[in-house]
Amino acid sequence: MNHTDCKSTPSKKNVPLHSIALVGNPNSGKTALFNRLTGSHQKVANYAGVTVERKEGKMTTDTGQQLHVIDLPGIYSLTPLTKDEEVTQTALLDKTADIPVDLIVYVADATNLKRNLKLILDVIALGHPTILALNMTDLARKRGQIIDLELLQQELGIPVVETIAIESNGIGKLLEILNLYACNGFPANAGSNRYGSEKKSSTLESRRILDNVIKKHADTYTLNQKIDALVLHPVFGFPILVIILFFMFQAVFSWAEVPMEWIENGIGATGEFLATMLPDGILRSLVVDGIIAGIGSIIVFLPQILILFFFILILEESGYLPRAAFMMDKMMSSIVLSGHAFIPLLSSFACAVPGIMATRTIKNPKDRIITILIAPLMTCSARLPVYSLIIGAFIPNRTIGLFNLQGLVLFGLYISGIFAAVMVAWVLNRLLGKNDYQPLLMELPSYHLPRMRNIAIGLWERARIFLIRVSTIIFATSVLLWVLSSYPVPPEGTTGTAIQYSFVGRLGHLIEYIVQPIGFNWQIAVALIPGMAAREIAVSALGTVYALSASGDDLSITLAPLISSNWSLPTALSLLAWFVFAPQCFATLGVIRRETNSWKMMFFAIIYLFGLAYLASLATYHISCFLLDQ
Ligand SMILES: Nc1nc2c(ncn2[C@@H]2O[C@H](COP(=O)(O)OP(=O)(O)OP(=O)(O)O)[C@@H](O)[C@H]2O)c(=O)[nH]1
Ligand SMILES: [Mg+2]
């Protein structure tokens, strides 16, 4: 294929761009290809149903033409059964769409052509210019599969190219065709007459084509089966899942200890240096007590967040997650939910927002609503700084046998969230009426060895998101909170710390009445207000408020020693219980409204979650006061 004779005519403004839609079965590598074409970082993972909404990006061909690329949720047929499949159907069939599709790149998993071929024929029959990208050819080759590409191309009447979407030089052939098409125009799809008009059973047709084009079948992949025999074992399977999760939380504490100490020392030294450099006054207080104390108290948790995501990324890439869902299905369905809820709930451990979006893959509307309502109870990564701060300050860093005590408590908090979710789902199920059990029909992808480069990119992306949050919303709230905590200044000759006379001090003392029964003091009450926007902001807010409340010997940039000397253990435990439930995240509430299309549902979530948070804190505080005799 020669593209050198194409005159380079870069797209001009106002000239509509040609658009390419990536279509195919779930988990065939569409998003990996989209990322490679457009340089984006959309989520890629080894299970079906990762992409649940349309994503758009741009790419420039070698000849300077700009193309509009659309990534779509995976589909099994052109008749949608779930919300995410509807998105793809609309993109392909809606003639009134803003961006009509000029070219379909059908991305097929080459190791599983059998499952793809009927849909390929149906897509060809739509009549759009179409290319077939046979992806994952690296795996197909490794398993000894041989496909006659030339024959497949003839049979289908469309161009067929091999791709390896996860390798930087794995999509050369596809790029060549796109280059050519971008300047010469998209050729008609010759297969559409064949498969569109005859409408002969494409199932029979696909079987015939398969028999012809597959020259050598892949070896039955015994390694997959061996691993499955172990991880899906009726007796050992579940303990293996618990051990994996348990190890993950242990690592969050033990591996992060050293880098956290470095960051803490670095922030402490910066604070002290600036405190000696700047003259005593407003500026020094703003920089040291407002900004450094606020941002510093949250940034130390970066290593823990990255370790947590390291495990999440490995679990996602390896192909283990759907196995875990499969195992949970039997157990969960006997209590409350279908196993379909498992992956959305598991995604919520990273963040409830994509978790709630992933419920689009759940067919049963009632199951979907219940999953949306309990997703905020899964411990998201924004809770980690809060939990970790309190655990670090109150739970001794000891090992009990093989286990780190702090990791054990963290694991307990995650379990509490899961337990609460199961209970709430059970109650909601009773309230909404019993469901018929729908068995989990989920394909188990083959295991992939996670590529460290991809994991590193994924971690970098998390670090970037975290640092952007720190330098924008957390920075802004720290400054705002410093202003509101410093003014009005106390009248002449008063004793005590200035913050008590400020807006924040006064407001805190007002709210204290409401939160006193659950053991919170006014500083916590104040921190919970900006923490409504996002949980981790509560930590930076505590950093600023305590830096300004401290006097004399108490002065310290690090927050943990300050709270451990100021709070009782029941207060700390009560705050932990609060954060298991409280819906302190605007983004989650917004996505609940959007995905359920109902304000009522959002307010229901707010009321029930705050209600549970208050009750849980009340019980925790009083029971622990009683037990500790305080
Ligand atoms: N070995 C290999 N792995 C690949 C290739 N392309 C994608 N993958 C992996 O396959 C898995 C699925 O990739 P995705 O891009 O998320 O698949 P998708 O088609 O977008 O999936 P959905 O969004 O669920 O429809 C991921 O683990 C990728 O890293 C490839 O060419 N070779
Ligand atoms: Mg995808």
In this predicted model, what pLDDT tens digit does every residue of 210-264 receive, in sequence order? 888 888 887 766 788 889 989 888 889 889 988 888 888 888 888 888 998 899 8
CA 312 / ligand 1 centre spacing (Å):
16
Does the CB atom of residue 322 touch ligand 1 within 6 A?
A: no
Contacts with 419 (C-beta within 8 Å, 6 or more apart), sequence order? none
Which neighbouring-strand residues pair with 60? 66
Task: Provide the pLDDT for residue 295.
Answer: 86
Does the CB atom of residue 165 touch ligand 1 within 6 A?
A: yes
Does the CB atom of residue 450 touch ligand 1 within 6 A?
A: no
Angle at 510 between CA 508 and CA 511, to 5 degrees: 65
Phi, psi (deg, nearest 5) at residue 293: -65, -40
> Which is it for strands 55-60 and 18-23: parallel, antiparallel or unpaired?
unpaired
CA 319 / ligand 1 centre spacing (Å):
11
Residue 466 reports pLDDT greater than 70: yes
Residue 594 reports pLDDT greater than 90: yes
Instruction: Give the number of other Cβ atoms within 10 Å of residue 245's Cβ.
Output: 18
How far is Cα 472 from Cα 534, in angstroms, rounded to an integer? 13
| Dihedral sign (CA 450, 451, 455, 457) | negative
Q: What is the CA radius of gyration of the chain?
A: 28
Side chain identity at 457, as an amino acid letter?
I
Contacts with 184 (C-beta within 8 Å, 6 or more apart), sequence order? 6
The answer to whether the complex's ipTM is over 0.95 is yes
How far is Cα 148 from Cα 217, in angstroms, rounded to an integer? 12
Does the CB atom of residue 27 touch ligand 1 within 6 A?
A: yes
Phi, psi (deg, nearest 5) at residue 507: -60, -45
Does the CB atom of residue 48 touch ligand 1 within 6 A?
A: yes
CA 139 / ligand 1 centre spacing (Å):
12
Side chain identity at 549, as an amino acid letter?
S
Contacts with 481 (C-beta within 8 Å, 6 or more apart), sequence order? 290, 294, 504, 526, 530, 541, 544, 545
- Helices in 336-472 by DSSP H: which ranges? 342-347, 352-357, 365-374, 383-394, 405-432, 452-469
Task: Provide the pLDDT for residue 317.
Answer: 92
- Helices in 288-351 by DSSP H: which ranges? 293-299, 302-318, 321-335, 342-347
Q: Which atom of ligand 1 is nearest to the CA of 139?
A: 1
How far is Cα 44 from Cα 51, in angstroms, rounded to an integer? 8
How far is Cα 59 from Cα 179, in angstroms, rounded to an integer? 11
How far is Cα 450 from Cα 316, in angstroms, rounded to an integer? 9
Task: Provide the pLDDT for residue 497.
Answer: 72
pLDDT in tens, 484-516: 888 887 777 777 677 778 888 888 888 888 999
Which of 25, 34, 41, 44 has most ligand 1 atoms within 8 Å of its beta carbon, as the pocket-test mutant?
Answer: 44
CA 166 / ligand 1 centre spacing (Å):
8
Instruction: Give the residue with greater pLDDT, 441 vs 385.
Output: 385
pLDDT in tens, 2-19: 444 565 555 444 555 789
Does the CB atom of residue 49 touch ligand 1 within 6 A?
A: yes
pLDDT in tens, 276-318: 888 888 888 888 888 888 888 888 889 988 998 999 899 989 9
Which neighbouring-strand residues pair with 23? 106
Query: In this structure, what DSSP letter does residue 501 have?
Result: G
Residue 377 reports pLDDT greater than 90: yes
pTM: 0.85
CA distances for 133 relative to 12, 107, 239, angstroms: 29, 5, 40
Contact between 508 and 563 under an 8 Å Cβ cutoff? The reply is: no
